[in-house]
Amino acid sequence: MDRRHDLELILRSRTPIVVIESEDEARMLELLQSIALSRSGDDYAPLFRWTITDGLQRIDISLEPQTLNSQPTDVLRHIRAVTKPAIYVLLDFHPFLEDPVHVRLIKDICIQYRNVARQLILISHKLRLPNELESFSARFDLDLPSEEERARIVKRTVNDYSEDYPGQRVQVDQKAHDLLVQNLAGLTYGDTERLARNAIYVDGAITKSDLPGVMQAKYELLNRGGALQFEYDTASFSDVGGLARLKHWLKQRRPAFEKDVSASHLDPPKGILLLGIQGCGKSLAAKATAGIFGVPLLRLDFGAIYDKYHGETERKLRESLKTADVMSPCVLWIDEIEKGIAGRGGETGTSQRVLGSFLTWMAERKSQVFIVATANDISTLPPELVRKGRFDEIFFVDLPGAEVRAAILAIHLSSRKQRLADINVSGLAKAMKGFSGAEIEQAVVSALYAAHAKGQPLATEHILEEIRQTRPLSVVMREKISTMREWAAGRTVPCD
């Protein structure tokens, strides 16, 4: 109702052009019809709608539809010639605003507004007015459905189901219903109704099993730029080897992240920065975070954000971060953040603008988005990103110790259906000193190939042979890894 009142004020303000960027065209027309019909007497103004396909039609009263003035130039000449006040809604007119004839005709209508109140309302998904028309215009933003409105949409869809299938009632799990209403946030009225209908009509019920499909559909609607990857089922990610201190830290903060009543006095956690040696589990730690919090995981790909056209990179970043806000609660994983923030050759100007947009979003966001940024080289990151307050903590993912190596080895063997009783796990873990988690996995994979080639079941000797042939990164890059460890010793928190 507040937005309806705001729109009424704009219409009464004698502004010749009202610009509305919205994909909810049907809802906007309903709102305008409602406002038009509420007026009376001398204040009443007819309401017309124009499209390139149907031409100009009056929509405040029911009339036999006629296709008149379907061409943009014709409709603008017609509006300019009219001598009575009226409101003209031009749908998807944005391609025609580049024509100087159209711009001049619109300007004529605006200049003559004092004599004849002919108001133009431009509605499209995206609108950029020519500079000479900006001074005649006002913009209106249509809010997305509130929680109360989303609940009404779901309730209406439940009633529609009962009408379509007489004698059948929708089975409603109240907790699933509340989650459905929450997860529909950030969508237009049309999309909200469509997803609610899909969830209810598939089985005549609202249950927790409907939520993954709703979230997947919502993600696909929002992520048109393709810079985000989405993973809904993250429960399995929490079962990873090692990272005991990180897991404990996350579990302590889970109640505050979930906005539990018992933790209402605590500030919600912002995020963590994970530094460490390649292959030691930074990516797994990001996934484990989503699993421990029990929320979807979004991965932001900086490579897909950067664009050769000026301003497009920043726009894609803003849209991606907006999508993360709408998909909340979630974990936003930014892999190898230094490659997107620290400069890309000659694109330092773009990188600085990207950094500025990212820092502003980090500081101002109110949504339940927990950031997990991973980096291999902190020396390339700007100080303003790693200072205290940007992230709650900086963790260092080091080479796994003997116990963690044994746990990682057991996980990889079990996942490949190998009997742990037949393998000397503790002995192999000791032999793998200096191996990263990725190198442990690769040793198992290679040993399985070797055993299969010999027609033998996997044995300890096969894995030992692969260990002897492997030169781990800790040996190949000993100096660099030593430097990284020395830097992290007094500046970061170990994950284990």
- CA 394 from centroid of its chain's CA atoms: 24
- pLDDT tens readout for residues 178-224: 888 888 888 888 889 999 999 999 889 999 888 888 888 888 887 76
Coil, strand, or helix at residue 96? helix
pTM for the full predicted model: 0.70
pLDDT category of residue 66 using cuts at 50, 70 and 90: low
Task: Please check whether the two domains, 235-397 and 402-476, share a CATH topology.
Answer: no
Whole-number pLDDT of residue 345 = 45
pLDDT band at 428 (very low <50, low <70, confident <90, very high): very high
Quick check: 1 pLDDT over 60?
no
DSSP 205: E
CB-based contacts of 495, cutoff 8 Å, min separation 6: 242, 243, 244, 245, 246, 274, 276, 281, 285, 395, 396, 397, 398
What CATH architecture is 2-140? 3-Layer(aba) Sandwich (3.40)
The fold for domain 402-476 equals Helicase, Ruva Protein; domain 3 (1.10.8)
Contact assessment for residue 96 and residue 102, using Cβ atoms and an 8 Å cutoff: yes
**Across 147-174, average pLDDT:** 89
Q: How far apart are CA 187 and CA 154, in angstroms?
A: 13
* 220-259 pLDDT, tens digit each: 887 766 678 887 767 666 667 678 888 899 999 999 988 8
The edge-to-edge listing of strands for the beta sheet with 118-124 is: 55-58, 47-51, 86-91, 118-124, 17-21, 137-140
Q: What is the pLDDT of residue 348?
A: 59
Please say if the pLDDT value at position 346 is more than 60.
Answer: no
- Taking the C-alpha atoms of residue 438 and residue 446, their distance in angstroms, rounded to an integer, is 12
State the Cα–Cα distance between residues 236 and 234, nearest whole angstrom.
Answer: 6
Cα(91)–Cα(23) distance, rounded to whole angstroms? 11
130: cis peptide before it, omega within 30°? no
Whether the pLDDT of residue 379 is over 50: the answer is: yes
Structural domain boundaries in the chain: 2-140, 147-222, 235-397, 402-476
**pLDDT value at residue 116:** 92
How is 352-399 classified by DSSP, letter by letter?
Answer: HHHHHHHHHHHHH--S-EEEEEEES-GGGS-HHHHSBTTBSEEEEE--
| Structure confidence by residue, pLDDT tens digits, 68-125 | 778 999 999 999 999 999 999 999 999 999 999 999 999 999 999 989 999 999 999 8
Work out the number of other CB atoms within 10 angstroms of the CB of residue 165. Answer: 12
- CATH code that applies to domain 235-397: 3.40.50.300
The alpha carbon dihedral of 158, 163, 165, 168 has a sign of positive
Token pair 């997860």: residue: 183
